[in-house]
């Protein structure tokens, strides 16, 4: 339920002096200028009190809105905290799956490395054999040439 907004109202704000405030006596039917001034002062004082109350209501309404917003935020955090365990569990499962995939990839790469090292070793041996054959053939050629 929304309360009426008082922001469009304007009030005079003469200074309120409580020492001037006196209880109003019943009108005597005579036009008493001092009584009218006293009544006017009382009205100004009441008006000032009313303005202060309106300001207080505005401040309380603003504070209420702020507190309602904070409450919504806190309730949202409670809902989120309820999901934290599920989120952590899902993240843990995802990370474990990534670890398993990386371990499989590591095994494949180790096998490929071993195969490549074998190929390099075989190629090196073949090269050395070819170099040895060449040297032997060159030596044979030199010997046969002499």
Q: Pick the closest to residue 42 from 59, 18, 67 (CA basis).
A: 18
Compute the average pLDDT of residues 125-129: 95
Collapsing DSSP states into helix, strand and coil, what is residue 6? coil
Could you report the per-residue pLDDT of 40-61, keeping only the tens digit for each? 888 888 999 999 999 999 999 9
DSSP character string of 55-90: HHHHHHHHHHHHHHHHHHHHHHHHHHHHHHHHHHHH
**Residue 51 near residue 87 (C-beta atoms within 8 A):** no
Note the maximum CA span of the chain: 161
Show the tokens assigned to 144. 């046969």
C-alpha to C-alpha distance for 121 and 113, rounded to whole angstroms: 12
pTM over 0.75: no
- In this predicted structure, what is the pLDDT of residue 88? 85
Q: Dump pLDDT digits (tens) for 3-15.
A: 444 444 444 445 5
Instruction: Dump pLDDT digits (tens) for 59-109.
Output: 999 999 999 998 888 877 766 656 778 888 999 999 999 999 999 999 999
Which of 26, 27, 57, 24 lies closest to 41, judged by CA? 24
pLDDT of residue 131: 95
């Amino acid at each position: 339920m929304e309360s009426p907004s008082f922001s469009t109202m304007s009030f005079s704000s003469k200074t309120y002096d409580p020492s001037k405030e006196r209880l109003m006596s019943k009108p005597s039917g005579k036009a008493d200028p001092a009584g009218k001034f006293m009544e006017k002062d009382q009205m100004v004082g009441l008006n000032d009190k009313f303005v202060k109350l309106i300001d207080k209501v505005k401040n309380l309404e603003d504070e209420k809105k702020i507190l309602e917003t904070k409450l919504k935020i806190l309730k949202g955090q409670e809902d989120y905290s309820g999901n934290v365990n599920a989120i952590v569990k899902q993240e843990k499962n995802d990370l474990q799956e990534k670890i398993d995939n990386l371990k499989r990839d590591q095994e494949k790469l180790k096998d490929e490395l071993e195969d490549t090292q074998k190929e390099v070793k075989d190629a090196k041996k073949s090269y050395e054999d070819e170099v040895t054959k060449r040297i032997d053939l060159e030596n044979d050629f030199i010997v046969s040439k002499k």
